[in-house]
Amino acid sequence: MKKHNLILGLVSALFYNAWLLGYWLNPAVMSNALLSALGASDQPYFYLFILTDILSAGFLLALVLGFRSLFARSLIVFATLNILAGIFPQTRAHPDFSSGVNMIHAVFSSLAIIALVLAVLLAIWKIKKARFTGLSLINLVGIGLSSISASFPNLLGHWTQQVSAILIGLWLIGMAVYLPEVPQVASSQADQG
């Protein structure tokens, strides 16, 4: 089971970090825009980056669907919101949010990050492994910096989002290893919360 989990986590992390291909496929976006811009419908190879986001979420769903903890449920929400953000990509690399689609993408992406933060906090609480807790805390710092970067691009630059994506990928792999150790909710309790 652990090997199966590790493979699903690793594949999810690799697809989550497919944006690294942007350095070769779309270097202009990589130097001055958020990672979502790679999937903007006005960019070359946008379909590749949307597909890899959706595949990453799909492999994460395959990993956590059998688990019944709040931790797993928050990851299901994270993955589902990432799929929805992919279904509604930005229309331009530098959106002004006058388009409803750009706003929908931003909302789904923001809610996905909130679900991920909840998952990371629950992981810290439930998985009592020092290395994984350390990785989770570093991941939270990365997510925080990425959120600041997305909100105020001129303050930190876009590199913080790229570092955060790598940290999230590493966290997905670590989470896949320790997922079976998260206490599961019994079926009668699962429906209550």
The tokens for 190 are: 């699962």
What is the residue extent of each domain of the chain?
Answer: 2-190
Taking CA atoms, 89 is separated from 58, 65, 133, 158, in Å, by: 17, 25, 33, 19
- Taking only the tens place, the pLDDT of each residue in 37-76 is 899 888 999 999 999 999 999 999 999 988 888 989 999 9
pLDDT values of the chain reduced to their tens digit, one per residue, 193 residues: 688 899 999 999 999 999 999 999 999 888 888 888 899 888 999 999 999 999 999 999 999 988 888 989 999 999 999 999 999 988 877 666 666 777 888 899 989 999 999 999 998 888 878 888 888 898 898 888 888 877 776 777 778 888 889 999 999 998 988 887 666 654 434 434 4
Taking CA atoms, 163 is separated from 139, 141, 167, 171, in Å, by: 9, 10, 6, 12
**The residue type at 150:** A
Which pTM does this prediction carry?
A: 0.86
Taking CA atoms, 119 is separated from 30, 95, 127, in Å, by: 28, 29, 11
